Structure formats: structure tokens, C-alpha cells
Amino acid sequence: MLRFVGIVGVVAIATGCASTTEPRLSYEGHSNVLATGPTVVDATVTVRNTGSVAENIPVPPCPLTIAAYATADRNNEPLWRSGTEGCVSDLMILPPIVIAPGDFYDFNVRASLPASLSGKRVFLTMSVPTATAVPIGQVVVK
């Protein structure tokens, strides 16, 4: 009986340690209109480590993208996406971005919205290596 109690105690301790050291990431995005005609948007997604251990995020092999959606829920296909359809990468081995507990990292991108969106209110998202479609605001394209 004593042996069984000892095993349960070890399992409980291991489980308790695992749950307190799990890294957790939060994402917050925003954007600013820099110019109109064409509309140029500067966007930032802040990735914050709210956990108790450092988190590694891969360096993006391709340029970050912004997408424009017709509705605030951003569920359907985007009306437009920055960048190209595909990305060719050398797959260079780069050290990851390390975010310590309580620290953050900002991903930034600038994009010109196309004239085809002129006059429309669009709802923007930005993709980063560990999350896709992070909301970054809305804009009426001029």
C-alpha cells in the first residue's frame, strides 16, 4: 500500500509542475493608415508570453501578410491578401525568436491596399508564424 501512495504522489507533483510551466502566448494587433491614394497601412501584432517558461517562435521564412475581409467576423475568404501566393525559401536554419516569460515580440508589416477595394470598409488581419488571421483593425479604403 505504501508503494502505491508514493507513485500517486510523484504523479501529482509531475502534473503540478507541468501545468505551472506551460508557455502561453497572447496576440494583440493594431494598424495605422499612413497614406491614402493608395491606402498604405502599417500593422503590428504583439506576441506576449503570459506563461512561466520561455517560448520559441520560428523566424518567418516568408514576408508577413495582411488580409482584408468584407465582414467583421473575418470568416470567409479575404477580398485581398498582401504578398504573393507562394513563397520560396532557402530554409536557412535561423535561431528562433525567444520570448521570455512576461516579455513580448512585435511583428511589423506595411502594405498598400489595392484600388479595387476603394470606397469599401474592410476588416484587416495579419498572419504571424504562430497564429493566422490576428485582427488588426478596420479601414475605409480611399
CATH fold label, 21-85+96-140: Immunoglobulin-like (2.60.40)
pTM above 0.75, yes or no: yes
Query: What was the pLDDT predicted at 23?
Result: 60
Neighbouring residues of 2: CB distance < 8 A, sequence distance ≥ 6:
none
Map out the domains of the chain as residue ranges.
21-85+96-140
Q: Which of 65, 34, 62, 30 is nearest to 46 (CA)?
A: 30
pLDDT of 49-107, one tens digit each? Answer: 999 999 999 988 888 999 999 999 999 999 999 986 666 665 567 889 999 999 999 99
